[in-house]
Structure 1
Amino acid sequence: MQLFYNPNISKLEKEVTFDKEESRHIVKVLRMKDGDTFKITNGKGSFFSAEMINANPKGCLVKILSEEMQQPLPYQLHLAVAPTKLNDRYEWFLEKATEIGISEITPIICDHSERKTIKPERYEKILQSAMKQSLKAYLPILNEAVSYKDFINSEKNSEGLKCIAHCEETDKKSLKSVLKPNQKITILIGPEGDFSSEEIELAKANGFIPVTLGESRLRTETAAVVACHSVAFVNE
């Protein structure tokens, strides 16, 4: 199935026009023509069956034929992950987490962070591409990068399971041991230099459970994907 993304489609739409970039890809690269049918998602849970009625590379016009809803994830997973020193590693995490299943992502700037800026437009495109590739109808929410302390403060009164994965040799539970199906979960993943001791204590003081992802010391992006998969596995 060929899947495209258009965030502006609603249930009331009968015809939709794609922007110039997507239209050029559809016509010039995929060589689609009038009469061809395909699927579109709005990233909000809907799949729309559509038919090309004007294959214009500057603005494709399609007719909406029908709509169906995709079942949402049985869990809500919010990963707060420190940006990696090498940007392509963070992009890899975004892609794989979207394919596996994730609800929300927040880049957090920590005491040991070497990268303190992100490229939200680039990250959004990666999320969209991964959503289409994995045939999902829900686009993960990408929040603005925030300081670690601001994120913790924003989560003070939040519901659900809250975990911090860190590498310090202190008492920690296995992430898999605290997970249950159909939960709302927030997991903190630190930078290459790990969370500082002060950050760990702040998280614990605000209801975050210290967890381990296994015996191996994992890179930031690997830890984030392992956490994402662990949640998805519990919900299978």
Structure 2
Amino acid sequence: MQLFYDEHINSSVKTHQIAIDESRHILRVLRKQIGDIIYLTNGVGQGFKCKICAVASKQCEVNIVEVFEDEPLPYHLHIAIAPTKSSDRFEFFLEKATEIGVSEITPLLCKNSERKRLNTKRCHKILQSAMKQSQRLHLPHLNEMMTFEKFIEQDFNTSQKFIAHCENQEKSYFAQHLKEHKKICMLIGPEGDFDLNEIEIALQSNFKPVSLGEKRFRTETAGIFVCQALSLHHHI
């Protein structure tokens, strides 16, 4: 099943005009025609089996034949992560985290951050592409980049909060906490790690310091590791 994305499609209508970008791919690249069956998702858990019923120069219209749903992840994972200096490596994290399973991502601007700007539009496209490729029906929520201090001040609504850092301090293994909580917020620092003051602020805000293992990971690897640990624990 090849999946397409249109955030505006919903189960309350019988016909829908697909957005221009996806229509272009459907018509010009895949050469789909009137009568062909395609599959769409709105990224919020609904999938749609559709039949192309009309074709214009830039868009196509479909009849919704069947609506199906996908259960969300059995946990809510929010990863707040400092984008890497190499945009390719951060985009790799976005892609793999979406494929494995993540609910929400917040790019963090930390004291040691080497990347201070982010192409949010491109990031959204990567998330959408990864969702379609992995045939998920839930699109992770991507927040705007924010400073470490502003992020810490938020109300996390009963989330269990963790910070993974490399300093030689007392920490528990993240794996020990997998059975305890289904709503998790994880802080992952930049390539130069969190500043000592940032770690102290996080601890004062009740973030638990955790280790991801004996080896030191790159930023993007740490984010993927957290996604995979939860996925394996919940047998997804």
What TM-score range do you get, normalising by the shorter chain?
over 0.9
**Equivalence for 1:233:** 232
- Give me the whole-angstrom Cα distance separating, in 1, the residues matched to 2:143 and 2:164: 20
Q: Deviations over 1:12-42 (max 9, x none)?
A: 1111112222111111111111111121100
Question: Does residue 1:135 correspond to 2:135, yes or no?
Answer: yes
Question: Does residue 1:64 correspond to 2:74, yes or no?
Answer: no
- Give me the whole-angstrom Cα distance separating, in 1, the residues matched to 2:224 and 2:36: 37
**Equivalence for 1:46:** 46
Is the 2:160–2:181 Cα contact (8 Å) retained in structure 1? no
Is the 1:32–1:55 Cα contact (8 Å) retained in structure 2? no
**Equivalence for 2:125:** 125
What secondary structure is seen at the aligned counterpart in 2 of 1:154?
coil
**Equivalence for 1:223:** 222
Q: Deviations over 1:69-122 (max 9, x none)?
A: 101110000000001101111100000000001100000100100111111100
Is the 2:77–2:183 Cα contact (8 Å) retained in structure 1? yes
State percent identity of aligned pairs. 48
- Give me the whole-angstrom Cα distance separating, in 1, the residues matched to 2:38 and 2:24: 16
**Equivalence for 1:180:** 179
- Give me the whole-angstrom Cα distance separating, in 2, the residues matched to 1:108 and 1:140: 16
Aligned length: 235
Listed as ranges, the matches of 1:71-150 within 5 Å are 71-150=71-150
Runs of 5+ unmatched residues, structure 2: none
**Equivalence for 1:212:** 211
- Give me the whole-angstrom Cα distance separating, in 2, the residues matched to 1:181 and 1:210: 16
Aligned letter for 1:167?
Answer: C
**Equivalence for 1:12:** 12
**Equivalence for 2:168:** 169
- Give me the whole-angstrom Cα distance separating, in 2, the residues matched to 1:158 and 1:19: 35
**Equivalence for 1:191:** 190
- Give me the whole-angstrom Cα distance separating, in 1, the residues matched to 2:193 and 2:122: 25
What secondary structure is seen at the aligned counterpart in 1 of 2:153?
helix
What secondary structure is seen at the aligned counterpart in 2 of 1:108?
strand
TM-score, normalising length from structure 2?
Answer: 0.97
What secondary structure is seen at the aligned counterpart in 1 of 2:68?
strand
Higher mean C-alpha displacement, 16-25 vs 99-108:
16-25
**In the superposition, relative to structure 1, how do residues 73 and 181 fare at CA in structure 2: closer, same or farther (>3 Å)?**
farther
Is the 2:46–2:70 Cα contact (8 Å) retained in structure 1? yes
TM-aligned CA deviation for residue 55 of structure 1: 3.3
- Give me the whole-angstrom Cα distance separating, in 1, the residues matched to 2:14 and 2:222: 44
What secondary structure is seen at the aligned counterpart in 2 of 1:73?
coil
Is the 1:23–1:57 Cα contact (8 Å) retained in structure 2? no
- Give me the whole-angstrom Cα distance separating, in 1, the residues matched to 2:76 and 2:44: 14
Higher mean C-alpha displacement, 83-92 vs 172-181:
172-181
Aligned letter for 1:53?
Answer: C
TM-aligned CA deviation for residue 161 of structure 1: 1.3
Aligned letter for 1:168?
Answer: E
TM-aligned CA deviation for residue 200 of structure 1: 0.7
TM-score, normalising length from structure 1?
Answer: 0.97
- Give me the whole-angstrom Cα distance separating, in 2, the residues matched to 1:114 and 1:106: 16
TM-aligned CA deviation for residue 68 of structure 1: 1.1
Q: Deviations over 1:45-75 (max 9, x none)?
A: 0011100112335011111111111011100
Aligned letter for 1:39?
Answer: Y
